[in-house]
Amino acid sequence: MTGGMAPPIMEIASIGGNLAFEVKERSGASPMSCYQCAKCSSGCPVASRGDLKPHELVRLVQTNQQQAVLASRFIWECTSCQTCSTRCPQQVDPAGMIDALRKMSAASGAVTPSTVVPVFNEIFLEAVRQRGRVFELGLMIRFKLRTRRFFEDADKAPMMLSKGKLALTAPQVGGKEERKALFRRAARSQAAPSPAAPSPSAEGGAK
């Protein structure tokens, strides 16, 4: 027996199902085209810190592991740098898949408690909606109040203030009504019903 630690084992609860179909319809990505070459993971800048790697996430989608996928920390730690999609020889578009999975995770209440990224995203977008741009100091205060991480990174605040990196007053940008209309369109798009997956009988009849 070698001295290294054994890799974690992923247990597959079931095979088949509608997750891959729903992800494809929502994102335009093609999870079933993936043949697990792992080129996406070898270039991913956050693969080493996530609970999953990109090719593992795609495999879980292929095998209908919806609970594991939507509760994954990796879908929120992804930086959307598009490296995985650029490197994929099958044009699977893992980055597009992850965007769709984030929306599904938030809508189903399956977001893992080990991440605060959705909270940051919500505060950031609300700041843009209200003011047209981000007020960094206000964003930091609201984020820390929501997450209770009061003293994390607090030692950086004096340096940032002294260098003028944190404005003390909030900026105001015109076009408030246009921004509201933009956010309403985005909300309507997200609220659109998901397409129905084909039934097993329909699939069998097509063969």
Q: Is the pLDDT of residue 172 over 80?
A: no
Do 99 and 31 fall within a single domain? Answer: yes
pLDDT tens string 117-146: 888 888 888 888 888 888 888 888 888 888
CA distance linking residue 17 with residue 12, whole number of Å: 13
CA distances 120 to 70, 73, 156, 171, 186, Å, are 18, 15, 18, 19, 18
Do 63 and 135 fall within a single domain? Answer: no
Q: Is the pLDDT of residue 8 over 70?
A: no
Do 98 and 127 fall within a single domain? Answer: no
Instruction: Provide the pLDDT for residue 191.
Output: 64
What proportion of the chain, given as a percentage, has pLDDT over 70?
83
Do 60 and 129 fall within a single domain? Answer: no
Q: Does residue 143 lie within any of the structural domains?
A: yes
Q: Does residue 97 lie within any of the structural domains?
A: yes
CA 196 from centre of chain: 23
C-alpha count within 13 angstroms, C-beta hemisphere, residue 133 = 8
136 close to 167: Cβ distance less than 8 angstroms? yes
Per DSSP, the residues of 117-159 read HHHHHHHHHHHHHHHSS--HHHHHHHHHHHHT--STTGGGHHH
Instruction: Provide the pLDDT for residue 56.
Output: 96
Mean per-residue pLDDT of the chain = 82
What is the tally of structural domains in the chain? 2
Helices 54-62/19-27 angle, 10° precision:
120
Q: What angle do CA 85, 86, 88 make, to 5 degrees?
A: 65
CA distance linking residue 90 with residue 126, whole number of Å: 37
Do 138 and 87 fall within a single domain? Answer: no
Do 121 and 158 fall within a single domain? Answer: yes
C-beta atoms surrounding 154 within 10 Å: 11
CA distance linking residue 135 with residue 128, whole number of Å: 9
pLDDT tens string 71-94: 999 999 999 999 999 999 999 999
Q: Does residue 102 lie within any of the structural domains?
A: yes
Domain coverage including residue 174: 117-190
pLDDT tens string 48-77: 888 999 999 999 999 999 999 999 999 999
The stretch 21-47 carries a mean pLDDT of 93
Q: Does residue 178 lie within any of the structural domains?
A: yes
